[in-house]
Amino acid sequence: MILTSQKALEILKEFKNKEKDTGWMVEHCICVGNTAGKIAESLGLDVDKAKALGYIHDIGKGIGDFCEHDINGYTYIKKLGYDEEYANICLTHSYLNNDINCTAGGFPEAIPFRIEFIKNHKYTIYEKIINLCDLMCKKVTLTLEKRLIDLILRKGVHENTIYHIQEAQKLKKDIDNMLGFNVYKLFPDILDNE
């Protein structure tokens, strides 16, 4: 079943008072969805799909343990009967490549399902866009650099932090190359946003 951006927003808003992280999950997800929508539009992709994926990517943060929000979100969207790609985004957004250690905030628990899923997954263009947008959004769209510093300040520096930053920079370059210009040009306020 297809998940429209409107339905995704409804699902997200049900979690408004169930946020288990720092209290900005809903606004952050809206920012990721809208930022992804703009990039998708410039690439001639399905804007509504990009938005829907962004709106639900962190839905697992409203369910259970924060460290397993990726798996919890995946299971939740799957149970609702939506197509695989909508469940997948809940897992894939936390990892920039096929290695679960390519993530922010230190090494995740080596849960076999998580390791195998990420190792064998072929990232779609939509997933790459969401991964970049997740690293360009708090409640507003920021430069990747500002957002990465924000993550370090909140989650600390770990053995895999440089690896994650390098892969994030590569991801931005890939999207810039696809667009044919710097992605920041799509967001006129980005330099002033805090």
- Minimum distance from residue 94 beta carbon to Fe ion (Å): 8
Residue span binding Fe ion (CB under 5 A) among the ranges 52-60, 78-86, 125-133, 173-181: 52-60
Distance (Å, rounded) from C-alpha 45 to C-alpha 50?
8
Least distance to Fe ion from the beta carbon of 180, Å? 27
Residue whose entry in the numeric block shows the structure tokens 């769209």: 141
| Minimum distance from residue 50 beta carbon to Fe ion (Å) | 14
C-alpha closest to that of 52 among 71, 72, 80: 80
Task: Give the interface size with Fe ion as a residue count (CB under 5 A).
Answer: 2
CB atoms within 10 A of CB 32: 30
Pick between residue 71 and residue 81 the one whose CB is nearest to Fe ion: 71
93, 139 in Cβ contact below 8 A? no
CA-to-CA distance for 14 and 12, rounded, in angstroms? 5
Cα–Cα distance between 99 and 48 in angstroms, integer? 28
Interface segment toward Fe ion; rule CB under 5 A; list 3-11, 16-24, 123-131, 133-141: 133-141
**Cβ nearer to Fe ion, comparing 49 with 57:** 57
From 39-47, 58-66, 150-158, 173-181, give the range in contact with Fe ion by CB under 5 A. 58-66
Is 127 a binder of Fe ion (CB under 5 A)?
Answer: no
Nearer to Fe ion, 21 or 81 (CB): 21
- Looking at the Cβ atoms of 58 and 167, the one nearer to Fe ion is 58
Stretch of residues binding Fe ion (CB under 5 A), selected from 2-10, 45-53, 68-76, 129-137:
129-137
Q: Is 134 in the site for Fe ion (CB under 5 A)?
A: yes
Residue partners of 112: CB distance under 8 A and separation at least 6:
none
Tell me: does residue 58 bind Fe ion (CB under 5 A). yes
Tokens of 94: 């936390």
DSSP state of 28: H
Q: Which of residues 82-121 bind Fe ion (CB under 5 A)?
A: none
Name the burial class of residue 136, with classes exposed (0-12), middle (13-18) and buried (19+) by CB atoms within 10 angstroms of its CB.
Answer: buried
Residues engaged in binding Fe ion (CB under 5 A): 58, 134
